[in-house]
Amino acid sequence: MTFTIVSLLPGTQNTNGDAQNATVLETRAEWAGIAARTVVVERAAELPSEIDAIVLGSGSDASLERSRDVLRTMHDELRRWGTEGIPILGVGTGWELLSWGVEHRDGSSLEGLGILPGRAVPRDGRVTGDVVVATPRFGQLVGFENHARAYVGAEASPLGRLRAGEGNGRDSGQEGVIMGSVIGTHLHGPVLAKNPAFADALLRIMAERRGIGYAPGEQAVAVDAYAAAARAAQLRASGIDLEPSD
């Protein structure tokens, strides 16, 4: 048994190192003694028949339509895998493309794949900064956001509650969206490396579907200490003072 992790469209959707979340899943699986491979998919023909997780990162607005058109050719597979409970992590514009769509400031809009509820809408100015999200399933997540749009329609199923940052905006106090194991978030870059509990929760879902167990490997302990220090330093540097998470 080998975990197959799909890194979707890293050619256009990897501005911030979001695609490396696939590497994080693969590496942690291997540390746990589970064979794993990352498959880069730029076209529908490259999709493996059996997969265990999908990572779709953020790109520039110029590539939104091009990426959407490619994703449309994989629509049926993505929807089926999402329904079957396979973890799909969409970050930034990658998440927006999985949603109902993207509304632009000039009134035009781009239809998404409709796999996640809600849509991206214009916001006043870009937001760049640190985010802390309390999530019921993955613990407290720390990350960095950089986006020029808000997100509406996730109110019934947000990824979590904001403790710092702007997240979905429009005074929702929420960040991200989650449907089963399909997740959209503004937390860009290697969010799974920075938040190993999030990565391990996804790996447990992957393992369960395969009828095997998952426990973090020995090497993960040392590396997770770096992640803990990085989270602490980030919170310290940005002056976010939080009570211990509940």
Partner 1 sequence: MRYAPAIAVGKLVRIAARLRKPGGGSAIPGLIVNRIAPGYLKRTLSGFPQGLVVVSGSSGKSTTTKMLVAILRAHEVSIFTNPSTANISQGLTSALLEQADWRGRVPGDVAVLEMDEGHGALVMQGVDARVVALTNVMVDQIDRFHDSEMVAGMLARIAARAGEAVVLNADDAYLERLAARVAPGVAVRRFGVSAEVLAAAPRGLGNTETSEARLDPADGVVVARVDGASAVLLDGGVERPIGLPARGIHYAVDAAAAYATARAVLGERFSPETASAALSSIPPVFGRGERVRIRDQDVDFVLVQNPASYQLNIDAIPVGTEQILFAIGSDVRDPSYFWPVDASSLGRVSIVSGSKAAEAALMLAYDGVAIDRVEPDLGRALDDFLAAPAPANGVKTIVFTADSMRRTRAHLGLTEAE
Binding positions for partner 1, 148-177, rule CB under 8 A: 148
Active site annotation includes 104: no
Round to whole Å and give the CA distance between 33 and 215. 9
Taken in order 165, 143, 198, 58, the sign of the CA dihedral is positive
Residue 105 makes contact with partner 1 by CB under 8 A: no
Which member of 39, 110, 223, 240 binds partner 1 (CB under 8 A)?
Answer: 223
Candidates 75, 147, 186, 188; catalytic one: 188
Residue 96: exposed, middle, or buried by beta-carbon count in 10 A (0-12, 13-18, 19+)?
buried
Stretch that binds partner 1, among 35-43, 105-113, 155-163, 225-233 (CB under 8 A): 225-233
Helices (H), the chain: 20-31, 64-72, 75-83, 93-98, 191-194, 196-209, 218-237
Contact 133, 175 (CB under 8 A): yes
Q: Is 210 annotated as a binding residue?
A: no
Does position 65 interact with partner 1 (CB under 8 A)? The reply is no
Q: Applying CB under 8 A, which part among 22-30, 39-47, 164-172, 207-215 lies near partner 1?
A: 22-30
Q: Does 13 bind partner 1 (CB under 8 A)?
A: no
With H, G, I as helix, E, B as strand and everything else as coil, classify residue 29. helix
Q: How many CB atoms lie within 10 A of CB 114?
A: 13
Cα separation of 105 and 121, whole Å? 8
Q: Convert residues 109-138 into a mask of x (bound to partner 1 by CB under 8 A) and - (unbound).
A: -----------------x-x----------
Q: From the annotation, which residues make up the binding site for substrate?
A: 126
**Residues of the shown chain interacting with partner 1 in the complex, contacts defined by CB under 8 A:** 10, 14-20, 23-24, 27, 60-62, 126, 128, 144, 146, 148, 188-190, 193-194, 222-223, 226-227, 229-230, 232-234, 237
**Residues involved in catalysis:** 188
